[in-house]
Structure formats: C-alpha cells, structure tokens
Structure 1
C-alpha cells in the first residue's frame, strides 16, 4: 500500500502512548488503532488536524520539534506506478 502510517514512530519520539494522545486530544483511542492497523477506510482533515494539534501541544511542552503531517502519514510510490509511463 502506498500510504504508510507513521504514527507509532512519532509517538515513540514523543515518548507517549496512543492512549495519552487520544486522552489529551479528546478523541477515541480506537480511531488511532484503526488508522495504524490499516482498518480505517479514510481519515478526515478534521481528525488529522486533531492528531497534529495534540501531538504538537505535547511536543512543544517537551521542548521538541514541530510535528507535521509527514510525521503521521507518508506516501510511497509503487514500483508499478513508475513503470506505467
């Protein structure tokens, strides 16, 4: 799948759990599990913003760097896609 969820790596960098992120952001931890396990069919911009806003509040409080969308979701082009031309 060309979409890669990198939430675990980001949470590890912040030294927090999905539970902590969800509690601080006031959203369901199940949403994070579904996203990370590939069971989420979609993610809204609203949810993505909540995740980023919460991660950044925690990151800033810890004196760490700004978390971006690329720290949560990444896109990798399939080899098949590059060979279509």
Structure 2
C-alpha cells in the first residue's frame, strides 16, 4: 500500500519517468531548489547540500567529488588511485 504524507512517501517499489520525458528524475525541496538528479544512465548528481551518508549498493562508484570531506571511514576494495592531499591518517 502506498502512503503519501506531507513529509514522507512510503510503500513505493519503483518510480518511472513518463514517455517522452528527458529520462531525468529530479528531487526538489519545497522552494523549488533541485537537490538530487538521476539520469537515464544511472548517473547521480547531488546538486547541493550536505551528504551525511553515501552507500553504493549496486554498481561501481567511479567518481566522487567533494569540496570538503570532514570524515571518511575505512576504504576497502579499491583498485583506483587517490589524488590530492590526504591528512589525518595513522
């Protein structure tokens, strides 16, 4: 059963863009500001705001760009390279 409340939606199994659309799903705040965008290839763009948790459950995250990272937990299973300043390591 789908339940739509002013602050939440539950019971949704899938969301499909309409035919003839640009195959982009966007989520906006109540003032119209776009916060999240997913295109037809699955590319996800977090437009603005603070990401407190990012978990990849399917596929491979090939690029993650952040202006400031304040906390990064253990990184495992990587085959790529890291660049830029890395500090706070033990």
TM-score interval for Structure 1 and Structure 2 normalised by the shorter chain: under 0.3
TM-score (norm 1): 0.24
Larger radius of gyration: 2
Write 1 or 2 for the structure with the bigger share of strand: 2
Higher relative contact order, structure no. (Cα contacts within 8 Å, ≥ 6 residues apart): 1
Write 1 or 2 for the structure with the bigger share of helix: 1
TM-score (norm 2): 0.23
